[in-house]
Amino acid sequence: MSDERAGRRMGGAELEGVGEHKDEFASFHAPYRNAVITLIDKPSDDVPLMEMRIREGRRITVLELDSDTAENLAKTLQCWADKVQNKGA
């Protein structure tokens, strides 16, 4: 069984088994507020997008991100995580 199917820890969130959606490539269970973040590839000939779904209870927020926005978001999140982790060191 692969790491993704078995579930594994990633940055404080639990990576769930993928496969709810055909093009789903990651699903994270965040420990606070019982949120689930799911990333879905939305291939397109025009503008390929990644759909990020954040589910908190009954509320679902859907963001469609292009590659530049996803890259900026990833860099920003990594900078924040590095800052928080180094603060305690």
Digit-coded pLDDT (tens) for 41-88? 998 888 899 999 999 989 999 999 999 999 999 999 999 999 999 886
Phi, psi of 56 (to 5 degrees): -125, 100
Residue 77 backbone dihedrals phi, psi, to 5 degrees: -65, -40
CA-based end-to-end distance of the chain: 36
Q: What are the Cα distances from residue 72, in Å, to 56, 62, 77, 79, 89? A: 24, 18, 9, 11, 26
Distance CA(4)–CA(15), nearest Å, equals: 7
Q: How many CB atoms lie within 10 A of CB 55?
A: 16
Determine the Cα–Cα distance for residues 48 and 68; give it in Å rounded to an integer.
11
Between 32 and 15, the more confident residue is 32
pLDDT at position 15 is 43
